[in-house]
Every structure is written in C-alpha cells, then in structure tokens.
Structure 1
C-alpha cells in the first residue's frame, strides 16, 4: 500500500474528456517526511511512517521531539504508517526524505481516500437513518412527525434487539472512499484534484492510497 497524507482544501468542478462537468475535490497532498522505516527484523512487520503538517515545538512532547530529531525534521501534527508488499518502494526511501505527490500519483489513475466524516452530534432517527416519522397530527397526535414509533415486541421476546436503529451520535467516523479518478495534478503546488466527494470538513486530514 503506497500513499501520502494530505489535507482537504475544498471542491470545484472540471470537464472530463466527454464534455461532462464533474464535481471534484481538491486535496493538498504533502509534502511528507519519512520519519521511520519499520522492518521485519526489528518491528515484526514492514511499513513506512510518513509525517505531515508542521507543529510548534512547545506543543510537542519530548519523546516525539526525539523521534522527529532522528529524521532531522521539525515536529509534525499527523503521522501515518503505510505497510507495503512491494519491495521496490521502501528501498527508494531514506529517513528524513521528502515524499511528494507527483512521486506517487499520476493523472488518470484511481486512488482510495480515507477521511473522518463530519460529526453532527446526537441526532434523531429522521436525520440519522432517514425515517419518515410516525405520521400526521390527526386524532390528538402532536409532535410525532419525527418520532421513531414502536421499537420492540410485547411479552415475547420482552426486549429490544441489538442493532435497533434509534437516535444517537452521528458522524465522526472513519470513512474510506474507493476508486476516485485523479483528474488533475499540480506538482508545483502539491495539489491533486479527484473526481467525486471526499469525507471530512475543509482543512481536515485525509490519507490517499493506491
């Protein structure tokens, strides 16, 4: 799994080769720093740790300061490990090396994006699950338009089954969107434009994989 850490900038639209207007997401991808190379002999698995987005030294713990100093880089806010099966990619990397967007991705290929969806707090069943509510206000019913209605049976089984769709905390989940087409890459600005929507708010961190 090869990838890079980025930040969601916003959305725009581009025309594809057939003249169709496509909604696209703009992502600032990297540049990332290689902060650790994990091997089978030392760590028990193979992975490359990348770090992104500068952070103030006074807000960084001393163990992390030592970790970043080994890679001769400034403290970073986001760190992600990318495990790999291809032996060629990690052999090209070194501790403290910069990994840029254009080194990994090309226009026209398809990538996967991992992000954290927008948190919406505690929501009812209408917004959380798309319920239509109990019904109108006729015959004395009031304030029932957005109610869930009955949730369980009578004496048998005398309980509510696990997994019942009810109100609760909505959003804030790790979401992975697969096979988004790379519409455009601006290597001088480290920007990548993907066809489709990406989970998360503006300026939230995302992970691009291929």
Structure 2
C-alpha cells in the first residue's frame, strides 16, 4: 500500500490512492470534534431566529470583515455585548466614544474609530429599513442567498466577505440558506482533501451540523487549525 506523502504546497496529505467517502466523513467528524464551535458561539451569541441575536451576528460579521485577526474581532464583539450593545437601539444610543472604548477593550484598535462610526450608522439603517429585525430582510429575500447577500452589503462595513460570514453562521437558524460554504470554507476543505462543493460537503455531516463544519473549515483555511493534525487524527481513527 502506498505510504502517505507530504505535498510541496502544504500539510495536506497525499496518499497515492483515492480517499473513500467514509474517510471524508471521518475527517469531517474529527474536525467537528476539534473545532466545532462557530464564531457566533465563541462571541457569546446564542444564535436564534430572533431580532437581537441576528443583529449581534451582523455586528460580529462587521468586525470580522476587517483585516484583523479573527480572535481579536471575536473579543471586540464580546466587549460590545458586555457593554449592553446587543440591539440596534442600544448600539445607536451609545456614544461614538463608548463604542470606541468597548472596541479598545477587545484590542480592536487599528480600525476602532471607523468601525464605531459604521456600527452606529448600521444600527440606524437596521432600524429604518428593517425595523430592527433582520428576519424582515430574510423574508424580503425569500431565503435566496444571492438576494440576502445583496441586502446585507447595504450595511456599512459589510462587503461580500462580511455577507458570506453572516450567511455562513446564520445557516444554523436559517435552514433555507443551507448548505452555505464561502470561499474560505472551501479553501479549508481543499487543504483537507475534502470535496470542494457545498452540496458534497453537506453529505458528510447532518444538516444541523453543517454551519459548524463550515466555521471549522474556515479555521483550517486561516491556520487556526492544522490540516495535517486533523488528517493524522482521522487516519488513526479509521
């Protein structure tokens, strides 16, 4: 039997023979066991199809959209929520300086002033356009991912990447969006030798777990999780 070899481009194992679907499921399960928390969970968001947690996810997606480490963005989101800014009403009512200070406590300092402005403006837009309830946005788009992405990018600080982050996490409570895997999630799948299509990836786990898998794949793409360690652990489990 051919022995696993390292590829020149990274730590994805090259086995010399095609991996079976059962092997892919094992890799997906190991990854979920190691990195199965979504970024929303890490930020302390109890995600549900309700106005407050959906707005909190929008805040998190805004923070994650900048060129800053994901863990710093998550820490800043936790500080904003700890300060009480969990709804668009509370976010807009906070002073610009109060938002800057909360971001600073999360070490989100490179973009704190601009982000404070965007959060205030975005909160006002959420209230004016969607009456503070992003379920209205969901209904208006009829659950269509392209329509949702278009509407989400109307928020300041939410570009295509931010919209992808929001939908990748929101699919846990918006089943009609599943399976949603953005560019980074698919890059993580490629590093692990998993199928590089959302539908095929969805076949590896239960429907309710796909959002967690997508977040875990992003962690592989960002280097927060080692593709080699996941693959080696999965090989030992077979």
Same fold (TM over 0.5): no
Larger Rg: 1
| TM-score between both structures, scaled by the size of structure 1 | 0.30
Structure with the larger helix share: 2
* Higher RCO (C-alpha 8 Å, min separation 6): 1
| TM-score between both structures, scaled by the size of structure 2 | 0.28
Structure with the larger strand share: 1
